[in-house]
Amino acid sequence: MNQKSDSSKTLLYIFMALHVLGAAGTFILSKAAATSFANPLVLTVVRGIGCAFIFLIFTGWKIPKPDFSLREWFRLLVLGVLLVPLNQYLFLKGLELSVPGHSALIYAMTPIGVLLLSSILAGKTPSIQKFAGVFIAFSGVMIILRPWASGPQVSELRIGDLWLIAAVFCWVLYTVLASDIIRKKNALMVTSWSLILGVLVMLPMAVQPILTFDFSVVSTAGWFGLGYMIVITSSMMMILWNILLKNLTPVQVAVTTNAQPLATTLLVALGSAAGFLQGNQDLGLMFIIGMVLSLSGIMVIQKSRD
**Which positions ≥6 away from 248 have C-beta within 8 Å?**
12
93-to-35, 38, 42, 157 alpha-carbon distances in Å:
9, 9, 11, 12
What is the Cα 137 distance to its own chain's centre? 18
CA pair distance 6, 100, nearest whole angstrom:
35
Which residue type does 165 have? I
Contact 295, 131 (CB under 8 A): no
Q: What region does 9 belong to: left with phi over 0, alpha with psi -120 to 50, or beta?
A: alpha
DSSP label of 62: T
* Ordered per-residue pLDDT tens for the chain, 306 residues: 455 566 777 888 888 888 888 888 888 899 989 999 989 999 999 999 999 999 999 898 888 999 999 999 999 999 999 999 999 999 999 999 998 888 988 888 888 888 888 888 888 877 888 888 888 888 888 887 777 777 777 788 889 999 999 999 999 999 899 988 988 888 889 989 999 999 999 999 999 999 999 999 999 999 999 999 999 987 788 788 778 877 877 767 766 777 788 888 888 888 777 666 666 677 778 888 888 888 888 888 777 765
DSSP H or E stretch at residue 114 = helix 110-122
Sorted by sequence, the CB contacts under 8 Å of residue 87 that are 6+ apart come out as 167, 170, 171, 174
Q: What is the pLDDT of residue 294?
A: 84
pLDDT of residue 138: 84
Q: How far apart are CA 33 and CA 14, in angstroms?
A: 28
